[in-house]
Amino acid sequence: MDPAASDDRSRRRLLIAAIAGGLVLLLLVGVGVYGLLRGPASRTDTTPAGPPVPSATSTPAGPDGQGPVAVPQTGGPEAFARSVAVALFTWDTTSGYQAVDYAQMLADVAADEEADALAGDVRAYLPNPQAWAQLRQYQTRQWLTIDTAVIPTAWETAVAQAAPGQIPDGAVAYTIEGTRHRDGTWGTEPVEASRPVTLTVFIVCTPTVTNRGITGTRCELLRLSQLDSPLR
């Protein structure tokens, strides 16, 4: 293997990991290249502190289908980023599947060079086995409704300031804003709860080429920001 090529890949991986964190740092003052330092991953609120509070409002429509659903890799960058966010937040403890099965849907679309790091990102969003067992007692399911998906200014700045080759061709970030919904039962009563969430999805898309020419794009998942610590 060419050592220079290996070093280039390592630098690109480091830059993506840094950008995923959300804190802008000046990496090369003379050149003006910016990175974004990733902080330690923090697990989301996966352990139930108690049953959800009953709501007088109607429960929003839940996820389509109970089991894990494959993430489509075609349709363009924004469509892929939205599909990733939906897959990340959609699960059903009564489906017979475990959190790891839902995580596998995201692992299946991971870019090879970021697969190990991405696995840690995904775990921070999903209930651990103990929390999953507790949530199952309440027949809990979760899903996401998306309000906006935009390329953040911080990413555009990073791309503009990066030296050639520092960011992979076709890489882009989308900051997703939406609402996380949960519903279940407490005793015999249906209950639901929701809260706003934000995150940034880092992806890379490449053209799909046939003997007739370029026909579209195929996207892969690079990293995820921490929950509620997106790029702006």
Residue 62's φ and ψ, nearest 5 degrees, are: -85, -170
Q: Would you put residue 77 in left (φ > 0), alpha (ψ -120 to 50) or beta? A: alpha
Query: Is 50 or 30 the better-scoring residue by pLDDT?
Result: 50
Predicted pLDDT of residue 211: 73
Which tokens go with 120?
A: 């840690």
Higher pLDDT, 17 or 115: 115
Average pLDDT over residues 145-155: 97
Q: Are 52 and 132 in contact (CB under 8 A)?
A: no
Tell me which of 12 and 58 has the higher pLDDT.
12
**Quick one: how far is CA 210 from the chain centroid?**
30
Q: In what order do the strands lie in the sheet with 171-186?
A: 91-92, 141-150, 171-186, 189-210, 213-224
How do beta strands 189-210 and 141-150 pair?
unpaired
pLDDT average, residue stretch 78-85:
98
The mean pLDDT value for 31-60 works out to 33
Pairing of strands 33-37, 141-150: unpaired
What is the Cα–Cα distance from 223 to 119, expressed in whole angstroms?
A: 9
Q: What are the pLDDT digits (tens) for 101-112?
A: 999 999 999 999
Q: CA nearest 183: which of 90, 97, 100?
A: 90
**Predicted pLDDT at 5:** 57
- In which band, very low, low, confident or very high, does the pLDDT at 37 lie, cut at 50, 70 and 90? very low
Provide CB contacts within 8 A for 40, sequence distance 6+. none
**This prediction's pTM:** 0.77
Beta strands in 50-188 (DSSP E): 91-92, 141-150, 171-186
Residue pair 202/223 in contact (Cβ under 8 Å)? The answer is yes
- The better pLDDT of the pair 50, 121 is held by 121
For position 41, what pLDDT does the model report? 38
Q: For the segment 180-198, what is each residue's pLDDT rounded down to a tens digit? A: 999 999 888 999 999 999 9
Residue 52 pLDDT > 80: no
